[in-house]
Amino acid sequence: MVSTAAISSSRIPPAFSGFRIAQVSDLHNAEFGKDNSTLLRMLSESGPDIIVITGDLVDSAHTDIDTALSFAKEAVQIAPVYYVTGNHEARLTEYDRLRTGLETAGVTVLEDKTVWLERDGGRIMLIGLSDPDFTVKGDMFGEVPSMVGTKLKSLAGSEVSYTILLSHRPELFETYAGCGIGLVLSGHAHGGQFRLPLIGGLIAPDQGLFPKFDAGLYTDDSTDMVVSRGIGNSIIPFRFK
């Protein structure tokens, strides 16, 4: 359930050497141990400087907002928590309740917003994107990459320092790289759902068969992207790895 990636870049301020980010993605209201005690213990033992939740904290088909908020309330006791939405949050009629509950718990909700991470005089810009489904359902006309690119350029401005982007959608990697993002933390692909020897993931949302970005670390010039396999399930209630 735990995988690690080491990121290096000449643009990362020296003060952030050894900075640890714990990523939780696609939990889909799953629980690991009573009240997610197992998951919370693993987060604590990893010693993160921050925790990021990259979408689909809840599942739109069997939503339990109280379970999601209970996890968030405990996670903020471990490290500062930053959250972005996924496509399942975009389907919720109760999303406002979830967002308010997260903010009340002390989670920083990034809906097309930026914050600065500061450490010993060094600074990194953290950007969080709302899931595109809040704006465009289904993207029948292929407008999402352009929309996201315009939004990212507006958020980052002329900033030349290192940037970290939280965005649920890995299929937009080329757009992120084109905007000069340093590191992208993403999810959504569920590791390709079924993983075949020598081939990799079989299918992923919004990528279809044999997805290009299903799990792990990807690099395009000066942009790295880590795609979490996620730890919950949604429409297909099991995985084969």
Residue 70: how many CB atoms within 10 A of its CB?
17
Mean pLDDT, the chain, rounded, equals 87
Q: How many residues does the chain have?
A: 241
So what's the pLDDT on residue 194? 55
Contact 188, 169 (CB under 8 A): yes
So what's the pLDDT on residue 210? 62
So what's the pLDDT on residue 237? 43
Residue type, 38: T
Contact 125, 161 (CB under 8 A): yes
pLDDT at 204 over 80: no
pLDDT in tens, 47-85: 999 999 998 999 888 888 999 999 999 999 999 999 999
DSSP labels for 108-122?
A: EE-SSEEEEEEETTE
Q: Give the chain's domains with CATH numbers.
A: 19-227 (3.60.21.10)
So what's the pLDDT on residue 30? 84
Higher pLDDT, 182 or 136: 182
So what's the pLDDT on residue 149? 93
Mean pLDDT, residues 106-112 taken together: 97
Higher pLDDT, 108 or 3: 108
pLDDT in tens, 164-201: 999 999 999 999 999 999 999 999 876 545 555 656 66
Contact 9, 38 (CB under 8 A): no
So what's the pLDDT on residue 240? 40
Q: How confident is the model at residue 235 (pLDDT cuts 50, 70, 90)?
A: very low
Contact 167, 56 (CB under 8 A): no
So what's the pLDDT on residue 102? 97
Q: Mean pLDDT lowest for which of 8-12, 61-65, 141-145, 191-195?
A: 191-195
- Percent of the chain at pLDDT exceeding 90: 61
Higher pLDDT, 207 or 50: 50
Mean pLDDT, residues 158-167 taken together: 86
So what's the pLDDT on residue 163? 96
Cross-strand partners of 115? 126
pLDDT at 154 over 80: yes
So what's the pLDDT on residue 233? 53
